Chain A
Amino acid sequence: APLTDTVPPQVVPGADPLARQLCFAWGPAEVLVCETLFGRAGGFRSRCLSHSPCASRFRGKGRAGAAARSLTGSVAATADGGPSSSRVFVVRRDQDIYIQTLRKLFNESHGIFMGLQRSEEELAGKSRKAQLVQVSKNYRSVIRACMEDMHQAAVSTQDPALQGQYSTQVSILSAMELIWNLCEILFVEAATAGPLLLRLLDWVRLHVCDVDSMVREVLSSESPSKHKLFWNVVDVFVLQGRMDEARHLLSKEATANPTSMNMYRILDDLMKKMPVPSLCNTQTLTELELKWQHWHEECQRYLQDGTFASNPHMESICKILLGDEDAILEKKELMTTWYHFLVTRLLYSHPTVKPVELRFYAQSSMDLFLSGESSPEPLDMILMAAFEFEMHQVIKECSIVLSNWWFVAHLTDLLDHCKLLQSHNLYFGSNMREFLLLEYASGLFSHHSLWQLGVDYFDYCPEYGRVYLELHIERIPLSTEQKALKVLRICEQRQMHEQVRSICKIMAMKALRNNRLGSALSWSIRAKDAAFATLISDRFLKDYCERGCFSDLDLIDNLGPSMLLSDRLTFLGKYREFHRLYGEKRFPEAARLLLTLMTAHIAPSSFWMTLLTDALPLLEQKEVIFSAEQTYELMRCLEDLTAGNPDKQKFQDDDVETTKVEMLRLALARNLARVIVKEGTVEGS
């Protein structure tokens, strides 16, 4: 069976299951192995927290071991320094998720998954079932395509280690498709007696390909009937119910042996007449059973009267047609698996088998086939569980055996859409479908590139999807603005306000560190983050005070409505407007704006001195600009500033400041004098 050699025992260096009980959690990329506080005989609660946030937290360290090709383990963190401290091992099976070909599986199936979630649930009975079967087939064709690519990769690589790895993947994928196909027949399509057998035959023909090369060899030989494996191939066809192909081969042998012509003719006739269930409802099961009974008796007659006695090959075929278990079991080598034996047995003994009866035939077929020589392997147990219609057992076994969550997550979701899993709730809250999807999506998020796919899976987990997404999305490294925009879009579409703010803040901080004030401001405008806009505005103002000119005029002049985001930003915009008015020599407007900035308390008090200093050249103009009232207000602003400042010492000690204040007072007084004269003159005239 393909699964036997795929999961070789691996040792995680440093983890000792003898000393402590270990617990583990895994995703497509990593397995976390944790030491627990449980002793060997049990104990207190586990120290292992939920796997997913840990996975990304420790990702950096886990990478250290990534260079090694096989399973690598590394001690990621020590929970606390105490003597009972536990360790968490991050174990990466690199080859699994980092195999390029598997990314096709993840990406292509994502599209199918999304289609299924959006599909019309209202579609009634048959058409809904047809739709679900189609979805199932689409998933399988993706697995097959991926398997073919993997096979190509295995064939074309020169590296034997890599080749082994690819071949392992091929067998895992092949097992996945085998299981999925059986689940499709039994659960999704829920084939009924009659069609059920036809589907199982197709299933066996598709998956038992060990004999294909032998068939090809014989058929392509010059004279097939002379080939030493001729009868083997005829048997293969008969065992798989491929009657037309078997008869075609037999006819070649018949022409070569004119003496036994009659014998061939009779066998050919029996094979031709064998009644088979039909997919359409042209005959009832009772009709089929009657015909079959009649045909069976005819075969019995020919066997008993020794028609085929002279040819052991043909006699054995006739016995197979009669469903003789010993005769069929003699061809064990040609069937290779117990489930092929099961289907052959059903074909020749119970063609109208009902789904509920499958479990008995399956169990006895396995027992007969293995006959105590070998014990069933994981794959056998999974298929057996499927034949027993134990869906949860199938999913559970697959979860344990397969090395990633892809298979169980998608299969469970499909079965859930078939309304087959509704009653099953897990003790920790969400249902099994959601649990598996969460695990799968968390694994995608731990991958450097595949995180985008994970988002959509979380969206369809009604219970915990949102929380998981919130936890994971914050851990996506924002390497470029473009990537940040993509992450931001995901958060905005889902109204994740806190994450939106946090992303914008991170980007704004980065921009600030790089002295890109313009970019920083546009990030905080996007998040509507007033506090940060204030911080950046202060940086602009500080730069202005130091350099005496504005940087980033293209931005400040174009703030538009976003100016209203924070008071400081408003001030920045208005202050810049003052400079523009001044530059355009529109002095009265400039003066009015300057004064408003202080009297309406738009300007921070720390900036008043600068504003008052800016008033100086206006006070010194030939023409009087500030009215008497405005001058009084300016004076009050100046006095408020010098008197109201708790740090009075500063003004007294600092010579420059003192001189500035003195100059201002003088200028204000002179302006007042000029304006009184002017206003008096105007009023007087």
Chain B
Amino acid sequence: AMEDVSAKFVSQKISRTRWRPLPAAALQPPDLFATGSWDNEDNRISIWSAGDFENAGLNGEYHGEPHLLCDIQHNGDVMDMQFLDQERIVVASSTGTVTIFRHHQNNQTLSDDHRWEKAHYHVDQDTSCGGAACTGVVCNNPEIVTVGEDGRINLFRADQKDAVRTIDNADSSTLHAVTFLRTTEILTVNSIGQLKIWDLRQQRNEPSQIFSLAGDRVPLHCVDRHPNQQHIVATGGQDGMLSIWDIRQGTMPVSLLNAHEAEMWEVHFHPSDPDHLFTCSEDGSLWHWDTSTNVSDKPSFLHQGGRSTAYLSHSTINQSVVSAWLSSDPTKDRMEITNLIPNQTLSVNSLDVLGPCLVYGTDAEAIYVNRQLFA
């Protein structure tokens, strides 16, 4: 419920929020997250404590606001950010530089661990102003893949000074986001509505598969892969549409779901409960898509709880009923969609979900933490 959300105005426009990953087999909810800012004269990477769970109230509710542990200056807008491990964060900059920051937990400081200057660039890497914005980064320790406005794909290893592999001109338009499909394959989305699979083992500088939206080539801004069923991929577009793709078949999305009214900036499957999906947008909304609701046993109108809830039935082409996301059974083919921010006006640029916790950041210079997502 909204009452469990704590907000903090942070005097900087937030472009990315990320939970620090939990150690394997951890039982407690996440407690630390990182944020990155954009469009400030002085941009920063900050580490926040989500709150003190020891002092949680009797029913487990907690009303404290996030508090700053440490921060460090970052050159350029933070375009994307990903934790490499518990201590290191990889940050993509609008200057084209990719930086690994280390969070020292003993004395709560951040330091610049390693940096690939102008990993993305236009025309000439050595000129003084040739940097091209690095728009996306994804990590699978120790590997780091970055994409950029220059249409380039870089593969780095955290422990190596130079790029392991670079695909120049991989895409003629801007690459907006990247994610791992498998350990050796990545997915990218671009500004002409294409989803591409790249096999990094192959030396060919071409994608192994290209999927694309039909009709108008609406740019795609974000991509995420189902954590358990790797063939299911979700992307979000400039028109706010959510597309679900089955990369085993066809070249077009399995379903197109009308969602936001403007650019969808991020889409995330819940990492451990992938029946739930979260999207946020330039239109200032954040949607929770829930396919776990079995409509036949739980009449939908009983658990709306005053929130703006809508049901969409989506048409699918796929016939195999494997996942609720690809389902075509009309009786079960429904999902519950809830807008978690009813009155927001400025863009929600980023969100991250882990366990029962959600963190998101906005252009209205505020960060929000919801600790009871499924309450």
Contacts and interface: CB of A to CB of B under 8 A. Distances in A.
Interface stretch (B8-16, B271-279, B321-329): B8-16
A489 B77 contact: no
B172 interface: yes
B186 interface: no
Chain B residues touching A, range: 35 or more
10 contacts: A108-B9, A111-B343, A114-B345, A452-B363, A482-B94, A518-B173, A519-B151, A553-B172, A558-B193, A559-B217
Given A101-B11, A448-B40, A558 B217 contact: yes
B365 A103 contact: yes
Contacts of A479: 77, 94
Interface in A456-485: 456, 479-483, 485
Given A449-B41, A554-B194, A558-B217, A480 B133 contact: yes
A552 B123 contact: no
A481 B149 contact: yes
B94 A561 contact: no
Nearest first, the 4 A-B pairs at minimum CB distance are A518-B172, A552-B172, A514-B122, A104-B9
A532 to B, nearest CB: 16
A516 B150 contact: yes
A515 interface: yes
B345 A456 contact: yes
Contacts of A39: none
A110 B362 CA distance: 13
B192 A481 contact: no
Interface in A508-566: 514-519, 522, 525, 551-555, 558-562
A518 B133 contact: no
Contacts, number: 131
B11 A104 contact: yes
A522 B192 contact: yes
Nearest to A557: B210
Given A114-B345, A456-B345, A482-B133, A448 B39 contact: yes
Contacts of B172: 516-519, 551-555
B11 A519 contact: no
Interface residues of A, number: 42
B16 to A, nearest CB: 12
Nearest to B39: A449
B5 to A, nearest CB: 14
Interface in B1-40: 9, 11-13, 38-40
A449 B171 contact: no
Given A453-B364, A516-B173, A518-B172, 14 more contacts: A100-B12, A107-B11, A108-B9, A111-B343, A448-B40, A448-B41, A452-B347, A453-B346, A482-B133, A482-B135, A483-B77, A519-B174, A519-B191, A561-B216
B214 to A, nearest CB: 8
Interface in B184-199: 191-194
B149 A519 contact: yes
B177 to A, nearest CB: 11
Interface string B64-101: 00000000000001010000000000000010000000
A514 B11 contact: no
A480 B210 contact: no
B192 A518 contact: yes
Identify the interface centre among A483, A517, A559, A560: most chain B CB within 10 Å of its CB: A560
Interface string B133-147: 101000000000000
